[in-house]
Structure 1
Amino acid sequence: MGELQVLLEQHGLTLVFLNVLIEQAGLPVPAYPLLLVAGALGMRETGPSIGAVLGAVVVACLIADSLWYLAGRRLGQPMLRTICKVSLSQDSCIRQTQSLYLRLGPRSLIFSKLLPGAGALSTAMAGMTATPFTVFLFYDAIGAVVWAGGALMIGAAFSDAIDAVLDAFGTYGHLALMLALLALALFIVWRWWKRVRLLRRTRLIPRMSVVELEARRQDGRLPLVLDVRAPGSAALERIPGALAVDPEAPLDVLAEHPPAVEIVIYCACPNELSAAMLAERLRAAGYANTWALLGGIDAWKQLQGERVLAV
């Protein structure tokens, strides 16, 4: 325990900076435990000051988040899908992040780090929506202070218990780590199995290709097209004539349409999952002629781009 405490007291600032930088870059190395310890050690003369630790956290966050911002600005929607690939709920990962940022704008950066998985996604959304870089830096710095400040204050409030905590970690650290890893593994397996079952079920929902949808449009047989992306995202770019709907809300828009109406639903998520889930719900309600759009909005944009090049 003595060696561990000496290491934290002498190199705590560097360790906090590197830990936060790595975590904000996207690696699963949580920085909050170290911030709690840094807050406790900040109450002692031998430890780094809380102000210095907070400054190191802000710098580390701005470095990592600026990279996410630039990646989002350059790569756009594919960047969100890349980030969400590590999520066991990729469709909701994209939808919820878009919804949060499009509703609140850069102000969402103030508390996005407090929400699991939303930090990198929100900074990428800032780049995607062309938020001015200075505005992004301002709100991101505030968010870093809010995120780290809470941990530092909690650590400072319980500074008297730091010796007992470090003692327990030194004695039972390996056992606690093994139990935590086992619990994490079981949780991941459970979530993975739920997702596999959902994917198997929604694969039964028929898909309509964008080529077929455009062919129906040209023949004057355009189905009712529903956009189930996050609220506000449809305003950026959507299929002409599509109606933006919340897949979890009552679909009043269908009240004026008979059950025989043809419906095509699209989203921006992997495996057209959000669209397929709503299609499943509508088919169960009697709307048998319902499809999910294969490839979603990205496939439609790709088709439009190919047509422009052909012209």
Structure 2
Amino acid sequence: MLPHEWIAQYGVLAVFLNVLGSSLGLPLPVMPTLIAVGASQAAGAGVSGPVAMPLAMMLGAAVLAGVLADLVWFRGGRRYGARTLHTVCNLSLSRDACVSRTERFFGRWGVRLLIVARFMPGLSMVAVPLCGSSGIRLRSFLWHDCMGLALWASAGLLLGAAFAARVEALLATLSTVGSQAAVAIGAAAALYLAYRYGRRAWAARMPRKTRLGIH
């Protein structure tokens, strides 16, 4: 089955689950998925018809998944306040830097930060509960969150569509390599996650060692 044929059948579900999991905090590569989907839809447009409608469906799935996940963090921020913010920041390498940076940006831009937060790694997950703890109205939050999600997802889909030929060639190469590529990608992902966990654990221990006078 060709990539664009697979995406025509499962693409909406793949985009929905990918964006949902990433927005909830799972380390999933969403932008590569959006680029691959956009490229495959553009490559298959000559066979199945115009590409605008399939891309609109993918965009709708991305926005819906992102909003559903963000509502979880927004409600958590509204109910539990700073505890939710610190829980989200525990997923980053530096909790203190995560909190201070986000509060600085939010103090300057307010809820409008959601429009561009998805383009800044790690910022969107912290900005969402901060909106809840800051008392932002639900209607305003949903409007700005949907706008930011739409811009972010559109960027990935349109980028893939613009470079459809090159992305399709890459997908074809990966499918030719087959299981070896899957093993290599899985190993690289595991090493990256281990690195992130090690850095986070080391950063969490450093302040304590400093307080105790351990060098």
Tell me the TM-score normalized by structure 2.
Answer: 0.85
Measure, in 2, the Cα distance between the counterparts of 1:69 and 1:80. 10
- One-letter amino acid matched to 2:105: L
After superposition, the C-alpha distances for 1:265-305 in whole angstroms (9 at most, x for unaligned) are xxxxxxxxxxxxxxxxxxxxxxxxxxxxxxxxxxxxxxxxx
Q: Partners of 1:192 and 1:126 in 2: how far apart?
A: 28
Cα distance in 2, alignment partners of residues 5 and 193 from structure 1? 43
Match of 1:164 among 165, 169, 184: 169
**Preserved contact between residue 7 and residue 41 of structure 2 (Cα < 8 Å):** no
Partner of residue 178 from structure 1, selected from 163, 187, 195:
187
Q: Which has the larger radius of gyration?
A: 1
- The residue correspondences of 1:37-52 to structure 2 (distance < 5 A) are 37-43=36-42, 44-45=44-45, 46=48, 49-52=54-57
Between Structure 1 and Structure 2, the one with more helix by share is 2
Matched, 1:135 2:147: no
2: distance between equivalents of 1:72 and 1:103?
Answer: 19
Runs of 5+ unmatched residues, structure 2 = none
AA matched with 2:65 = A
| Alpha carbons of structure 1 residues 136 and 100: separation in structure 2 relative to 1, 3 Å | same
Higher strand share: 1
Pairwise mapping of residues 198-237 of structure 1 onto structure 2 (< 5 A)?
A: 198-204=207-213
Partner of 1:214: none
Residue 185 of structure 1: how far off its partner (Å) = 2.5
Higher relative contact order (CA 8 A, sep 6+): 2
From 111, 116, 119, give the equivalent of 1:111: 116
Query: Structure 1: how far apart are the matches of 2:62 and 2:147?
Result: 11
1:197 and 1:126 mapped to 2: Cα distance?
Answer: 30
- TM-score (norm. length: structure 1): 0.60
Contact in 2 for aligned 1:5/1:166 (Cα 8 Å): no
- Provide the aligned C-alpha RMSD in A: 2.2
Structure 1 unaligned residues grouped into runs of 5+ = 206-311
Number of paired residues? Answer: 204
